[in-house]
Amino acid sequence: MARTPHDTGLGNAGETQQRGGEVLTSNHGIPFSDNQNSLRVGDRGPTLLEDFLLREKIFHFDHERIPERIVHARGSAAHGVFTCTDPIPDLTRAALFAEKGKETPVFVRFSTVAGGAGSVDTPRDVRGFAVKFYTEEGNWDLVGNNIPVFFIQDAIKFPDLVHSVKMEADRAYPQAATAHDTFWDFVSLMPETLHTVIWAMSDRAIPRSYRMMQGFGVHTFKLVNAAGEERFVKFHWRPVLGLQSLVWDESAKLQGADNDYHRRDLYEAIAAGDFPQWELGVQVFDQALADGLPYDVLDATKIIPEEVVPLRVIGRLTLNRNPDNFFAETEQAAFLPSNIVPGVDFTDDPLLQGRLFSYLDTQKSRLGTTNFHQIPVNAPKCPFANMMRDGMMQTHIPKGRANYEPNSLDMAGEDPGPRASVTGFITAPQAVQGEKLRQRAESFGDHYSQPRLFWRSQTANEQAHIASAFVFELSKVTLPHVRIRLVSHLRNIEEELAQRVATGLGIDLPEAAPPFRPPVDLPPSDALSIQKNWQETLKGRKVGLLFAEGSDKAAIDGLIAAIEAEGGTVFTIAPKVGPLQLKGGTMQADGQLAGSPSVLFDAVGMILMPEQAEKLARDSAAIGFVMDAFAHLKAIGHCKGSQVILDRAGIAPDEGVGPYDGLPAMAKRRYWAREATLRDLA
C-alpha cells in the first residue's frame, strides 16, 4: 500500500511503494509488505532474529562506509573514572553500583552525528554521549546522546533516517547539516520524528561545550537485583558545570573561527586539570507506573518528565586523562549497546532491539576483524575467557588442545564454577505471547503531545530560537510541498509555533495533518529548559581580554586574578602577540586580534589607553570583536579609554556592558533580553 503524506506507518498492509510507484524489495527481489515495522512477538514484544528483511537492511547499512563511522564520525574522547556516590544494591546487582566510593574506569566519546570525520564541531546537530565502563564483571557500554529521545521508534527505519540526513545522494552536499530537502522530506512523512526534531531546533543542538551538555541513555532499560526483582530505568548524565548553549549566529561563526572548538575545549580543560564532571542520575519506576502513563515507555521518541519520576543521583563521572593517541583510542573505540553487565537488562524497545544487532555488526567493517575487542581501548580490564579462536588480527595465543566446551582435556569449560553461578549474566525472565507480525502498538501512535510538552516548557526566548530554527532550516528546502507538509504537522504541536513558522516562510497556514492519535496536553517541565536551569558561574568559562601597547599591566593582572578566583580562565589578545611594552612592565598576548574573535569566548574585556583605543576603533577586527560579543548576548567589560570602540560599534550600555572591574560578575550570564533589540526572531 502506498504511503500517504500523513501516514504514521502503524500497521501498514500490502506492498510498500516508494515515490515513483516502484515496489520496495530486498536485495534479492523479495517485495516488502511493510517497511516501517520490525517483526516482533505481539505489538509490544521482542523483535525476532527471524526478521530477514531487518537483518539485510541493517547489514547493508552497517557496511556502507569504511573505515569511517557512518554516523558519529567526528568525535572526541577521554579517559576517566566513575564513582558510585549512592549505592543501589536493592535495585541492581551490578557491581559498579554496589558500594559507596567504588570506582570504575571509563572511556567516554562525544561526537556529532551527521557530519564526516573532517567536518566541524559546532553545527546544529544531536551529540553522541557514549560511556564505556570497564567493570569487574565485563564492559558495559551506555551509548546515548545529549537529547533524551530519538527520531524513530523502530530500528528498521534507521538507514532511511541517516540516508535522509546525510549529504544528498546525487550531489554530496550539504555536509553536517539538516537544512536540505531530503531530511525535511523524511521528517514531514514520519511524524514520529517530530519530538527529536523540536529538540534539535532548540539550543540543545548547539551546546557551548561537551562539558556543558547533558547525556541520556535514551531507551528504557531494566535494573535487576539479586532476588531477580525488576524495575524500569532511564539513565541521565548532568554536567556539574551546568547547561550552556551557543546562539545560532555564534555557532555558525565558530565553524570558521575554530572548527575544532569542542575538541580543543575538552582537551585543554583536562590538560589544565579542570576535569569535566557529570552526575549520573536514574529514573526508576515499576510496571504499574508505566501502565498508567499516557505514552509507552518502550517508545524511544518519548521521555518521562522528572516531575513524574524524579531523578536520583547515584554517581559521578570524572574525565581526567586525554588519550595518548587519537587513532588508537578515540577512533578505534567500539561501543556496543549489547555490552551489558549482570544487574542491567534490555527491554523490548524496538529501536534498542535493532541496535543490539547493528553495533556489533558494524565494527567488522570499521575495524576489519571480529577481534576488535582485543584492541586495548576496547579490551575489558577484568579476566575473560571463552572458546572463540583465530580470526584476522588475532593477538592472543590460546593454549591447550581443546577449543570447544564441554571438554575434559584441559579442565576448561567442564564446570562453570562458583563465579559464573553467582555473577553470570542471566536474562530477566519474561512471558512472551502474540502473533508474529509487522505492526506497531497503538500506544506508539501519539507523535505530537511530547513535542508540545517540550515547546511549552521553554522560556519565550527559547521558543523564539526554536521557531527561528524551523524557519531557517525550512527556508533551505527547495520543495514547497515539503515546507507545507511540515508546517501542517506543527499545527498539531502548537498553533502559535505553526503560525510563526508559516509567517517566517511567507506561506499560508496549511490544514493540520490528521493525527493517528489526537495529542493531549501534558504539564510543562522546567527541567527541559536550558535558560530556566542556567548556572551562574565562571567555572569552565573563558574570557577574552583585549590589550595593546601602553595598557595598564596592574589593571590587567588584577582582572585576570579576579576571574581566575571565580574559576574562570583568561585568554589575552593584542594587535600583535608581542612581547608588548605596557605601563608597569611587558606582556605577551596569548593570541592576535584578527585570529582571536570573540566567538571563542564566553565574555570579553578591554583595557586600553585612549590613543591605542582610537587606533583600534578604525580596525574592523576590533569593531567585530565587540559587535559579535554584544550580538551573542555576552558580557563586555571595558575601561574608559576603550569607550570609543563601543561607540564606533554602536553599542550602548546595558546590564552586560560596563566597567571592566565588574566583568567577573557580569560574565556569569548571557543577556537574553538584549536579543529582542538585535535581530528579528520568528
pLDDT digits (tens, 9 = 90+) for 619-663: 999 999 999 999 999 999 999 999 999 999 999 899 999 999 999
Q: What is the helix (H) or strand (E) element at residue 164, kind and residue range?
A: helix 158-165
Amino acid at the residue 3: R
Q: What is the helix (H) or strand (E) element at residue 658, kind and residue range?
A: strand 657-659
Domains of the chain plus CATH, in order, are 70-374 (2.40.180.10), 540-677 (3.40.50.880)
Three-state secondary structure call for residue 240: coil
Give the model's pLDDT for residue 203: 98
As a residue count, the chain comes to 682
Three-state secondary structure call for residue 647: helix
Closest CA to 355 of 47, 16, 663, 66: 47
- List the alpha helices (DSSP H) in 314-416: 350-367
Give burial (CB, 10 Å; 0-12/13-18/19+) of 425.
Answer: middle
**86-111 confidence digits (pLDDT tens):** 999 999 999 999 999 999 999 999 99
Say how many CA atoms lie within 13 Å of 534 toward its Cβ.
Answer: 17
**13-22 confidence digits (pLDDT tens):** 456 666 667 8
| Contact predicate 400/412, CB 8 Å | yes
Amino acid at the residue 158: F
Cα–Cα distance measured from residue 540 to residue 156, given in angstroms and rounded to the nearest whole number? 41
Give the model's pLDDT for residue 530: 98
Closest CA to 191 of 436, 481, 448: 448
Residue 399 confidence (pLDDT) above 60: yes
Active site residue 6: no
**4-57 confidence digits (pLDDT tens):** 333 444 434 456 666 667 888 877 777 888 989 999 999 999 999 899 889 988
Phi/psi for 414 (5° steps) reads -75, -35
Active site residue 180: no
By mean pLDDT, which of 374-383, 503-512, 626-635 is the weakest?
A: 374-383
Active-site pick, 12, 145, 146, 339: 145
Say how many CA atoms lie within 13 Å of 73 toward its Cβ.
Answer: 19
| Contact predicate 609/620, CB 8 Å | no
Residue 179 confidence (pLDDT) above 70: yes
| Contact predicate 44/433, CB 8 Å | no
Active-site pick, 12, 72, 146, 195: 72
Closest CA to 184 of 479, 525, 614: 479
Binning the chain into helix, strand and coil, the percentages to the nearest 5 are 35, 20, 50
Cα–Cα distance measured from residue 378 to residue 203, given in angstroms and rounded to the nearest whole number? 33
**233-284 confidence digits (pLDDT tens):** 999 999 999 999 999 999 999 999 999 999 999 999 999 999 999 999 999 9
Cα–Cα distance measured from residue 80 to residue 55, given in angstroms and rounded to the nearest whole number? 35
Residue in the block written with cell 579576579: 562
Residues 6 or more apart from 214 whose CB is under 8 A from it? 129, 146, 148, 236, 237, 238, 239, 243
Q: What is the pTM of this model?
A: 0.92
For the segment 615-621, the average pLDDT, to the nearest whole number, is 95
